[in-house]
Structure 1
Amino acid sequence: MEKIWLRSYPTGVPAEIDPARYPSLVHLMEESFERNLGRQAYVCLDTFLNYGELDHYSRSLAAWLQGRGLARGARVAVMMPNILPYPVAVAGILRAGYTVVNVNPLYTPRELRHQLADSGAEAIIVLENFAATLQQVLDETEVKHVLVATLGDMHGRIKGAVLKFAARQVKRMVPPFSLPGAVLFEKALKDGESMPFERIVPDAEDIAFLQYTGGTTGVSKGAILTHRNLVANALQNDAWAAPALMKDGENEQLVTVCALPLYHVMALTGCLLMGIHWGAMTILVPNPRDIPGLIKVLGKHRFHFFPAVNTLFNALLNHPAFARLDFSSLRVSLGGGMAMQKAVSERWHHVTGCPVLEGYGLSETSPVASLNPHDLTAFSGTIGLPLPSTEIAILDDAGQPLPVGASGEVGIRGPQVMRGYWNMPEETAKVMTRDGYFRSGDIGVMDENGFVTLVDRKKDMILVSGFNVYPNEIEGVVAAHPGVLECACVGVPDEHAGEAVKLFVVPRDTSLTVEEVMRYCKEQFTGYKKPKYIEFREDLPKSNVGKILRRQLRDGPSPA
């Protein structure tokens, strides 16, 4: 198919990248460690970790893991928030020749049991705050080795002790647990210093990560992401962003804000892997829900790159202290994970002077498949253009490409597309076409310039009397109402129309009424799109990435 999007590429962005530039993520990391030896790599809770220390500690951890006798390719789970041990753990696991299994630390025992059992993880690195959950399921998994980290790890003896005391005794964040045989993370690092380390040279097709899908659409599945997949996506993102980020020469160190959880694929690639590739200093934010705390951290640094989701952008904008920050260094604000709302995007641009570049991707695509050009000056309402070495086709139900302007399923082909789902060949076959396109499950349209607009997910589409209603459209318009803080809409059963639109609204204050929202919707939407039911809420259910969970709203009580 003709790559019509290439004519819309910004100046300086190549049509293709070379995924073979680095044979593996280990090569990419070790090159950066050597090149940026004295530079700061991370800062968390005002403690810094430089690239030389990241190299040293990850090598020590790799040696300790190899000393457990695990076979090459063994799965090692990581169950922590954004703290200093996280990048050390990921780098150490990969350097040891193993596969990382990212685990949401807020998982319930049922969810954790499924992921550990499904992946066949033989070791896990867990923050003590979540060790009680692990204790409940450990006997039902193949995990033989447990490393327990604390919030005080890697902060030095005195500060570390203070952080541990605060977490355990003051804030009561560590439920009692018993994990006989578990080893403290810092002890493993110390012991690993004197242990032999075998440098493993992974193959490009070796599995680097089992990245589990969120599970909000059914059984959580492990996307097999190879070293080649993730190297390719790092280079694709670099090719796209470099013209905007590298304005003042290559010697200036970039600063990245990592407020998204590193166990999520967006932060994994956009913050951890990209940060290492750039030699950036990454600000690790353990609790992004603490908006005042996040703003206080941002006030201490001049930052260049800020990836986030619509809900986080919105929450920051709604805090009065945010507008007083220094945004003079901010060059790229990246929106992903969910649809950006025009009202939020435009307000962010007004406050920071930096437009939000909306992108698109999935766990199955490492994750980024498309991005808006960095030279856009206004909200586009699209998910942008396919990245270098990426093809996007709009597919019909048979998996055949549709013409420009037609609505169909977004298909993605490129070196960042996963090998398949772990131990689920039938599920893999359902999402891959014969000619190598991954069927995303999202409905989209490509225009004559190659820009793709997402209409919605197949399953989220609401069918009202035979007419299609797409929640993203309803939500985007309602969010522009000055009295609306957040909103979401779903389809609910209706005896007359099959389905009806139900809208959930979080008002900014008590002055907003249901009647006012209904009047606004009547003005904005044709009859079948207008919400039949409107419910005010104090908040909306969200994933740990901040994505609104429509399924929870949909599965709630039916309207009277």
Structure 2
Amino acid sequence: MSDYSDRPWLALYPEGLSAEVPDVPFTTVADFAVDAMKRWADLPAFENMGTTLSFAEVDRLSAQFAVYLREVAGLREGERVVLVMPNVLQFPIALFGAIRAGLIPVNANPLYTDVELRGVFMEATPAAVVVLENFTHVVGRAMPGTSVRVVIETQVGDLLALPKRAAVELALRLGKKIPAHTVDSPVPFRQALRMGAGGQVPRVSAGRDDVALLQFTGGTSGVPKAVMLTHGNLLANQAQLSTPGSIPLNHGEEVVLTALPLYHIFCFTVNCLALFGMGALNVLVTNPRDIRALVRTIARSRPSVMMLVSTLASALLDNDRFRSLSFDALKVSIAGGMSVRDVVASRWLEVTGRQLLEGYGLTEASPVVALNPLWGQGRTGTIGLPLQSTEVRIVDAHDGAPVPL
């Protein structure tokens, strides 16, 4: 009976891919992110609703937000900041700003009820919240009696180009999609950026073993719990995903359809860290349920990488225009968050010419553990191969004995 110590899956690695991931030359996620911002400064980093931020702009804006959080809002190193936003340009700015300030981001699903969000507040004990105004009313109901001292409120159009910003905000208000709230004088996001302009990003003392992120589990087997992920955890997983030979992508050239939410740990690590570090452009999809708008985004951006869930892939395949698109730019399609049904996988391959690849992960692993090979033919219905520097064993649920391979 195998004890898995010889890691037999290594025999299936492509030539040139080592068993162990190389040492990461960074101490913190902030070091890693700033290096990417400087290295790819002139390239586009994030795009949303027709507005693009370059890596240099992400650098500047996240630095301003970091200064605001520490020097103006008065937050102390190690305090927590809850992010309550869908995929908008403000998300990476708030995320990287918090990390650069030595604070600990806490990802929260913006669709949480006030009871669920209060649970996050009570467990994570945050000092601040950054929230999209559509959800400020939920924050207002959740925060009484909690540790929250500062609420920064952002509008969907805050970082969009002016004509688009005005149009989006007018549509939201005419559609009455901004509920009234009870939060006392939240700080406007754009004002926070202005107040942090010209300041010096504070020096922080965090190390690899310090907590970088509080990520709540999905709660599929009970109440969601906050997982403490260190800088070392996140840096290692992004390195496993971006090591040359592990993924057939070109640094500084890829366009990524980011339809999975950035507050989900899979998209957080893969898109916001690994692909960001590779100099890729993340095309942020705020509302993936709007299939017609999503198809227009795909047609315009011609992504080389698509991050989806099985249900979204199925909805796209049912759209006539999607099926008529050219997918010659597409290199990799990855489905995260849930297993892919065979019928969806076969239809995806037929329409796009690319396999819809699956993997396995869990929040505690930062999260990716295994992934179908991106360099060859994957197998639908399987989780693929463990990543570099990963030890895996399959055990009998009854007695814990390793299952033979």
Give 2:343's aligned residue: 343
User: Does structure 2 retain, via aligned residues, the 8 Å contact 1:3–1:391?
Assistant: yes
Residue 80 of structure 1: aligned partner: 85
Of 231, 234, 241, the match for 1:230: 234
Offset, 1:390: 0.4
2:234·2:366 contact (CA, 8 Å) conserved in 1? yes
Runs of 4+ that moved beyond 6 A: none
- In the TM superposition, what is the alpha-carbon distance from 1:19 to its structure 2 partner? 4.6
Larger RCO, structures 1/2 (Cα 8 Å, 6+ apart) = 2
Judged with a 3 Å threshold, the aligned counterparts in structure 2 of structure 1 residues 201 and 11 are, in CA distance, closer, same or farther, namely: farther
Paired-residue identity, %: 37
Q: Distance in 2 between matches of 1:275 and 1:333?
A: 14
Within 5 Å, give how 1:144-183 maps onto structure 2: 144-169=149-174, 171-183=175-187
Determine the structure 1 residue equivalent to 2:359.
Answer: 359
Tell me if the contact between 1:19 and 1:231 (Cα under 8 Å) persists in the aligned partners.
Answer: no
Q: Does the C-alpha gap of structure 1 residues 399 and 124 become closer, same or farther in structure 2, counting only changes over 3 Å?
A: farther
> Where do residues 479-494 of structure 1 align in structure 2 (5 Å cutoff)?
none
- Aligned match of 2:47: 43
In structure 2, the CA distance between the partners of 1:243 and 1:175, relative to structure 1 (3 Å rule), is closer
CA contact under 8 A between 1:213 and 1:363: conserved in structure 2? yes
SS of residue paired to 2:257: strand
Q: Please report how far the alpha carbon of residue 242 of structure 1 lies from its aligned counterpart in structure 2 after TM superposition.
A: 4.8
| Distance in 2 of aligned mates of 1:302 and 1:205 | 39
Q: Which residue of 1 aligns with 2:333?
A: 333
Q: Distance in 2 between matches of 1:19 and 1:230?
A: 13
Q: Corresponding residue for 1:417? A: none
Determine the C-alpha separation between the residues in 2 that align with 1:240 and 1:316.
Answer: 31
Counterpart pick for 2:9 among 2, 5, 8: 5
Q: What RMSD, in angstroms, separates the aligned Cα atoms of the two structures?
A: 1.7
**What is the one-letter code of the residue matched to 2:194?**
K
Q: Verify: 1:374 aligned to 2:379, yes or no.
A: no
Q: Distance in 1 between matches of 2:47 and 2:12?
A: 37
Task: Check if 1:142 corresponds to 2:135.
Answer: no
**Does the 8 Å CA contact 2:14/2:245 hold for their aligned counterparts?**
no
Partner of 2:125: 120
Deviation larger for 50-59 or 338-347: 338-347
Question: d(CA) in 1 for partners of 2:397 and 2:164?
Answer: 58
- Give distance in 1, aligned partners of 2:399 and 2:363: 21
What TM-score does the superposition give when structure 1 sets the normalisation length?
0.69
Map of 1:309 onto structure 2? 309
1:111 paired residue number: 116
For 2:14 and 2:92, how far apart are their aligned partners in 1?
A: 32
Question: CA–CA distance in 2 between the matches of 1:241 and 1:356?
Answer: 20
2:66 to 62, 65, 75: 62
Secondary structure, in 3 states, of the residue corresponding to 1:300? helix
Q: Report deviation, 1:120.
A: 0.4
Q: Would you say the 8 A contact 2:357–2:378 is kept in 1?
A: no
SS of 1:181 mapped into structure 2: coil
Q: Secondary structure at the match of 2:358?
A: strand
Q: Structure 1 residues 240 and 352 mapped into 2: Cα distance closer, same or farther (>3 Å)?
A: farther
Amino acid at match of 2:157: G
Q: Does the Cα contact within 8 Å between 1:336 and 1:358 map onto a contact in 2?
A: yes
Q: TM-score, normalised by structure 2?
A: 0.95
1:378 shift after superposition: 5.5
3-state SS of paired residue (2:392): strand
SS at match of 1:224: strand
Cα shift readout 1:131-177 (whole Å, capped 9, x = no counterpart): 011111221211000100001101134432222121122x2211011
Q: 2:34 and 2:157 mapped to 1: Cα distance?
A: 26
Q: Deviations over 1:195-250 (max 9, x none)?
A: 3431325310111111001223211100111111111110111137754223xxx4
Please tell me whether the aligned partners of residues 371 and 386 of structure 1 are also in contact (alpha carbons under 8 angstroms): yes
Unaligned runs of 5+ in 1: 405-446, 448-560
Q: Secondary structure at the match of 1:391?
A: coil
**Structure (1 or 2) with the greater strand fraction:** 1
Could you say which residue in structure 2 is the equivalent of 1:185? 189
Following the alignment from structure 1 to structure 2, what is the Cα–Cα distance between the partners of residues 151 and 389? 40
Q: What SS does the corresponding residue of 1:262 show, helix, strand or coil?
A: coil
